[in-house]
Amino acid sequence: MRIRATVAAVSGALALSAIVAPAAQAAPSGDRTPAPLSGPWASGSAGTFGAAAKAKAPAEAPVIKKVVVNGGKPIVAGISAKKKVTIAITASQSSGIADAATILWIGSDLDDENADDVYWFEQNEEKASCKAANATTSTCTLTVTVDPKQLINTDATFWKVGAYALGKDEASIRKDDAAKIRMQRASQLTVAATPKPVKKGKTLTVTGKLSRANWETEKYAGYAGQPVKLQFRKKNSKTYTTIKTVKGSSTGTLKTTTKKTTAEGYWRWSFAGTASTPAVNAPGTLVKIKK
């Protein structure tokens, strides 16, 4: 079971620090059922105004204009190192923006406490860092730490980003699906070449292995059956040229031979990536020519 953590309870619309105070997450234990949510993400609170604003009439809800996660790039997680991700929320309201909150989550419904597919990572800060563009619009920045030890392999897909904006008049708005970002399993690629040096025009054997993070075993494992390019660049060049494409084995191992060994230079493998796994290049290995 994997027990998921909750956010702290809210004690007032302006006390956003109470809404989003970080809570520790439990270690994996096999259960995908989350603990109950609270604060701005509590069941039934979506799209409502803050507590104090409810007494005002009329109350103008802030408008969330844009949410940018990790600079627009996929979140790539390895097997142990935590990944701090920046989330920037741009919002507008006639009174100005006082604060914002965010949550990174996966599943069908954040309000469904019984859904076994729901999981989340909470923001690190008690209060967002907001920079005003003008009297009504601000961009508020927060961070979320992704812990790969809390992930399972099927989490390598799109995650939803919840955004909450609080106006200076205490009106607020919540959007559970304000943006989305892809979560990917980190990749690794190795290369080796023999013989070294090689006689000009003779057969060179190039091997390697494509691996990616297995979040469930906390190890890197071979990525099976993927097309990987064998590339070469001359020693004094900066440009790699693709020689051929090789399909990896069931364990991710790569092996091929080539007789295009007419110049001294670097050989490498290059993987273009998939939806769940980022692109990666092996470091080039220098092969000299024997006369």
148-166 per-position pLDDT tens digit: 999 999 999 999 999 999 9
CB 182 within 8 A of CB 46: no
Q: In the predicted model, is pLDDT for residue 249 greater than 70?
A: yes
Q: How many CB atoms lie within 10 A of CB 257?
A: 11
Output the pLDDT for position 33: 55
Picking from 161, 227, 172, the residue whose alpha carbon sits closest to that of residue 56 is: 172
Cα 211 to its chain centre, rounded Å, is 18
Output the pLDDT for position 109: 84
Tens digit of each residue's pLDDT (9 = 90 or more) over 28-56: 434 545 556 656 766 655 444 344 333 34
Q: In the predicted model, is pLDDT for residue 118 greater than 60?
A: yes
Q: In the predicted model, is pLDDT for residue 57 greater than 70?
A: no
Output the pLDDT for position 9: 30
Domains and CATH numbers, the chain: 16-184 (2.70.50), 187-290 (2.60.40.730)
Q: How far is CA 123 from CA 128, 134, 191, 259, 269, in A?
A: 9, 25, 39, 54, 38
- Mean per-residue pLDDT for 85-103? 96
Output the pLDDT for position 56: 42
Percent of the chain with pLDDT over 70: 79
Give the Cα-Cα-Cα angle 198, 199, 202 (nearest 5 degrees): 90
- Mean per-residue pLDDT for 100-113? 87
Q: In the predicted model, is pLDDT for residue 3 greater than 50?
A: no
Greater confidence (27 vs 176) lies with 176
Q: How confident is the model at residue 60 (pLDDT cuts 50, 70, 90)?
A: confident
Least confident range of 3-17, 220-234, 266-280: 3-17
Output the pLDDT for position 39: 60
- Mean pLDDT for all residues in the chain: 85
